[in-house]
Every structure is written in structure tokens, then in C-alpha cells.
A and B are shown apart, each in its own frame.
Chain A
Amino acid sequence: MNELSAALPVISARKLVKSFPMANGAELKVLRELEMQIHESEMVAIVGMSGVGKSTLLHCLGLLDSPTSGEITYRDDSRTWRSSDLSEEDRCRLRNHFIGFVFQFFHLLPDLDVLENVLLPTFISQETGEWNKKRSQFEARGESLLERVGLKGRERQAPGTLSGGERQRVAIARALMLSPKLLLCDEPTGNLDSRTSESIHQLLRELHQDLSTSILVVTHDPDLASRADRRLQMIDGRFRSESDNQQVTDSS
């Protein structure tokens, strides 16, 4: 990885504001001029009280929602996108290629089997004819990802027959299918018992070591948070970062 791309953040948010209209006509300001950036291959943990706006931030970063004001910039080796001038099509493409999502509730498609769930992003990005041409390539990658998350041989199982931890592993494999630059995990272990959580954390850390994907993970788990490259604490709609001063030196 060259110096320049290491120096430039994969994603950065500037003066991000998100407010929701409330029933009484007033505005609920969830994000207040929030600033953040994540560098290539960085693993950042976000902690904060429930209801503080962590999910809202991830939705904005993941292009599922638009900020009220402020700008998010996405950058890969060759291109830069600004959230303010993205077309609907660009947003869909970025969601598909640039970002991988891991949700608290796994959100696997029950009608598809495990491998098909992992391949879902390719189903979305490719026309049928194209996909069929690259079928073996996609399937090989899907299988190797499943092996990587410890589910070798479970390809044809229905998601309903898996345990919670296994489902989350499938979801992680799905999120990584198209090698996104950024993995957004919203409380990935919020719905799992502590031992299973520990193994998912382990997996995330390992993947982080192996892959060049940057990871942004919202978590309540102090152990996972402490092992991240950076830990951001969200208070009152912004970050109070405990490692702000190290940010520049840490980026190697």
C-alpha cells in the first residue's frame, strides 16, 4: 500500500447533521456536525449509549439514509465520490461494491440457502447472463469465504437451520463477497450470547488482519472496542475520541 492512499481516508464525514422531525413539530437533532474519517485497513470501534445515534450514523455512511446536511466522501484507489452529488444509481453501486453491511439481526434471506445468501451481492450487481459466465468464479469465492468464517460444508443449508452465531458468520461472508472497502457492523453481537460474541469478535479481528477492508463496528463490548485501532465514543451527536492525538501517527 503506497503512502498516498494510506494517508487518505477511505471514508470521511464532515459537519454531518442528521435530524428527525418530531410529532410536536420540533426537530430531534441526532448527529450534530459530526466529523470522522476512517483510513484504509483501519478498524474503528464506536461506543456510546443506546439512542445516541450510532445506527443513524451508520445508515448515513452506508447510504441507506441521507444526512440533513454535511458531506460524506468515499474514496478508493482510483476515485472519489461525494455524497452531495451522488445519483441514485451511484448510491446503489456504492452500497453494493464499496460498503458491506453486517446487522444486529443478521438479516439473511430465508428462501435462499447459505451459499446463495453469500452470493446475493453478486446477484444484485450482475445481469443473469454475466453472472452465469462468472458463476464458477463467484461460487469459488463464496465457498472460500464460508470456509474462512468456519462454515465449510454448510453451503446448501437453509439459514433457518443455523444458530445465531453461524448466521452472523454467513452475514459477514455476504458482506465481504464483493471485497468492499468498508465494512459497517451495527452491533454485530448485540443479539448473541457472550461466548458466541467472543468468537465473532475473534473472526472480525482475524478478517481485519487478513484483508485490506476497513471496519467500522458499533459495539457495547469493551473488549472488542479496546482491541480496535481506534475507539470513538459518541456523545451528544458527535465523537469524543480518546485516541485523537494518535490518529496521524497510527495510520501506518
Chain B
Amino acid sequence: MKYQNYLIQRYLSKRWAPWAATLAVTLGVFSLLTVLAVMEGFKIEMRDRIRGTLSHLVVEADPFRGLVGEDLLLEAIQGVEGVAAAAPNVTTLALYKVGVMDHCVLRGVDPIAESQVSDLARFLLSDSEINMMLRDRYMLLPPEREPMALEQVEQLFSLKRRREVMRWRLEEDPGSGFSVESPPQAIIVGIEALRSFRLQMGDVVQISSYSPVTLEPCSGNFLVVGAFQSGVYEQDLRWAFTDIRALQNTLELWDEDAEDMRLSGISVKLDDYASADQIKVDVRREIERRMLLDESDPESIPMRSPSYETWEDKRAHLIQAVEIEKRIISVLMLLIVAFAAGMIFLILMLLVIEKQRDLGVLRALGATRGGVVSLVLRQGMFLCTLGAVLGLLGGWIFLENINAFHDWVYDMTGLRLFPPDVYYLERIPAILRWEDVLLVCLPTLIFGFLGSILPAIRAGRQDPIKALHHE
């Protein structure tokens, strides 16, 4: 009926309090949306980084028994439908010493094979890039940079490269006791290990670990010949790569029973990651089948019990941490919306009490109970919806310009709200998803409805005679 919109218009045009409720809804929706979008952007950004140098699928051995039968394993895995490539690795926790002592996760890889299963080639840095990064501690590899070519990767681990680095090093520091002719094995460290000055290019580091075979300490010398940047601080500080054969020898991984060198695991790249869970099962089935074959069978693989995980399985806790963070913050921000709905409730309640007589008159002139209920309900929903729309619009405009805004704040105050060194994020990532918009709007409208329905029902319940009785 016409009176409802007409009266709402009149009531609202003569009062400011209802607009305060709208403003509260606007702010609530605005902040909720902003937080969700930034958290989502952050999550996506982190997901890429968290994956780091992991391949799609990882077959990982029990550290004390390892895996043996490298060629057979690779052959078995590559035979599974959907597998694009597979590469062996040896991974160990190690201490290293260069003046100070520190620890790292040292991974022995076949440089060419590894480049085909993981993003290693994408993260490896050229000498000029290393120099630039050492000068600018916030510098990040641009995402569009081409991965390093396979020949270059091979080069990096080659004897020629080691000799070159060694020669260059000896020029600066002749008394190190190593010769250019037989340099130590190559090691490639994360850029943060160089930046933190624990390590330098050309350093010879002594690496100590335990051999899982002999259970005795073992050690070897490695020459820092290169660096990588994965974009995750922890990895770039702690991870190091070397040649798989060199590490197998250093760790004395000769397995007497199988008469073969042990592996720590096999990295697998898939044609399509979307079917990873199925392929994981297929790979497992194939390897287990071969392990159960009679030893005399040429396909037989010595019995071990590795685990089979996708990279997301392996990083589940980290991915979940960001997801849970996002959820917790959304729930907290939802309180702002709830508060706004509470304001709508109070304002409508006051209005219903103030306008008791008007409502009685309307009823006496023929308005139905439902009509009066809807008069109040509509008003509440109007305030709430308007607030939500303004908040959405504001949030959207803000998110579109969030980095310009951030720069502006930086220019005005010198304050970095979002310091780039923590996560290497130069820009604030913000991704506004439809799901999140819905996740904001739906509860807002529901809260708004809950805040409006009680005053509306009270207005409907009111006895018109009583309302008209008192002056």
C-alpha cells in the first residue's frame, strides 16, 4: 500500500538517527569486504609461494629405510597414466659451517630431471640477478621472467662452473686450501642465506649430517655456486640444492641389501593437477604391485614403504592456517555488522514507541496488521540494504585503488601499513570473489531482518485503541 513507502520517506527525511544505523552497516560491510578480499588475495599469493619447489606429487621414503631401485621406480611412475615426469631426490637436514654455524635442508637433485618436475628452474638466479638482489633487499623476481634454460641449469652444477667460481674465489682469498683443479661439489643456496651474510658466493661450506645407513656422522665440503629465490623467506633462508650423486656419496647411502644407492623420494609432475588425487592412488597401486613381485621378476622393486602425497597434502597445515585466519577475521568482522543490526533494532524500537499513535491511527483508518508490520520491516530493511549497497560500492572502489591508497598513506605519513619485506609482497593483493560478496551481504541482510522483525512484530501487536487513548 502506498502509505508505507510514503511514511517511511517522511519518517526518514526528518530524522538523522536511522542514517547512523545505515552508516554502521556501511562501515561493517566495507571493512568485512576489504578484509575478505585482502585475505583472499593473500591466500592465493601464499598458496603459490607455499608450494615453493614442491612438485605436484611427492613419493617420500621413510628416512631410515629410504627407497631403492631408482630406475625401476622412475619407470614405474612414468608408466602411470597422467604422469608427465618424475625425478629422484635425496633430502637431509644438515649443519653447515662458515665462520658461524647454521642449519639447512639440503636436497640432492638431478638438475635436469628436477627442472622438469618442479619450479626449480623458475627460481634459479643468474649471476647478474644475484648481484641486483644483494643490492636491493626487497627485490623480487618478476613473475613473467622465463625459467632458466635447461642447459644453463646443467651448467650451474657443472665442473666448469665450479672451477670458475673457485678460481674467482681464490683470487680474493688465496689461502683457503682448495685447488681450482678439483673444487668441492656445488651447492645452491637461497637468496636470503646470501642476504643475511651467513653465506657468500664462492664460499666453501662444510656440511655435517648423519648417514641414515651407517648411523654415523658424516660430512663433506660444498662450494656455493648459485642462488635461488622462491619468494618464501623461510625456504630462501634454509633450503639448499646440490647434485644427487654427490649427496648420496657424502651421506654414504649405499644399501647393502638392495645393492643400490638409496633415495629420499621421487618428485612427480602431472599433466593436470586437477586429477592429482586419483593419480596419487594409481601411482601407489603400481609401486606396491611391483614391490610385491618375486625378486626374480625384472620389474620387481625392493620392498619399502614410502608415503604418497600431493603438495597440498604436504602443506595442508600452512594452507589451512591462512584459511582459518581468514575465517576467524571474518567472524570477528561480522560482529560489526551485528552491531549495526543492533542499532537498527534500537532505532526502530524507539520509532515504534514514538509513533505508537500514528500506527493506531493507521489501523483505525483501515491499515491491516500485516501492513503495519511491513511498514516497520521495510524501513529496517531499507536502512540495512542501503547500508550494504553503499558498503559494497565503497569496498569495491577502495579495493580497486587499494595500492594507490597505500602509496598515498606512505607518502603522507611515511608509514608502510604492509611492509614488503615480510612476505615479499610489493603490492597489497586483493581479490574480491563473488562468494565473499555473498558471504558479506547475506549475513548482513539476515541480521538486518532480525533487527527489524522484532520492532515490526511489536508494531503489529499493538492495540490501536490503547494507542489512540493516550494523548
Contacts and interface: CB of A to CB of B under 8 A. Distances in A.
A240 interface: no
A124 B7 contact: no
A105 B371 CA distance: 24
Interface string A160-203: 00000000000000100000000000000000000000000000
A109 B361 contact: yes
Chain B interface helix/strand/loop/mixed: helix
Contact of A124 (B10, B365, B471): B365
A127 interface: yes
A121 B371 CA distance: 13
Contact of B366 (A105, A109, A121): A121
Interface in B1-41: 1-3, 5-7, 10-11, 14
B369 A88 contact: yes
Contact of B368 (A62, A89, A111): A89
A50 to B, nearest CB: 14
Interface in A90-109: 92-97, 101, 103, 105, 107-109
For this complex, into which size category does the number of interface residues on chain A fall? 20 to 34
B468 interface: yes
B76 interface: no
B358 A109 contact: yes
A124 B367 contact: yes
B430 to A, nearest CB: 41
B363 interface: yes
A108 B471 CA distance: 12
**Most chain B beta carbons < 10 A, residue from A89, A101, A107:** A107
Contacts of A207: none
B183 interface: no
Contact of B2 (A95, A107, A108, A131): A131
B465 A126 contact: no
Contacts of A125: 1, 366
B364 A124 contact: no
Contact of B5 (A89, A92, A128, A174): A128
Nearest to B14: A111
B365 A88 contact: no
Given A64-B364, A111-B11, A105 B471 contact: yes
B357 interface: yes
A21 B364 CA distance: 23
A59 interface: yes
A123 interface: yes
Of listed A101, A109, A127, residue having the most chain B CB within 10 A: A109
Nearest to A129: B2
B94 interface: no
Interface of A: 59, 62, 64-65, 88-89, 92-97, 101, 103, 105, 107-112, 116, 120-128, 131, 174
Interface of B: 1-3, 5-7, 10-11, 14, 357-358, 360-369, 371, 464-465, 468, 471
Given A89-B368, A95-B363, A96-B365, 8 more contacts: A62-B364, A88-B369, A107-B360, A111-B11, A123-B6, A124-B1, A124-B3, A125-B366
5 nearest CB pairs, A to B: A96-B366, A123-B3, A111-B10, A95-B366, A123-B2
17 contacts: A59-B465, A64-B363, A64-B464, A103-B364, A103-B468, A105-B471, A107-B357, A107-B361, A107-B364, A107-B468, A108-B361, A109-B7, A120-B3, A120-B361, A123-B1, A123-B6, A174-B365
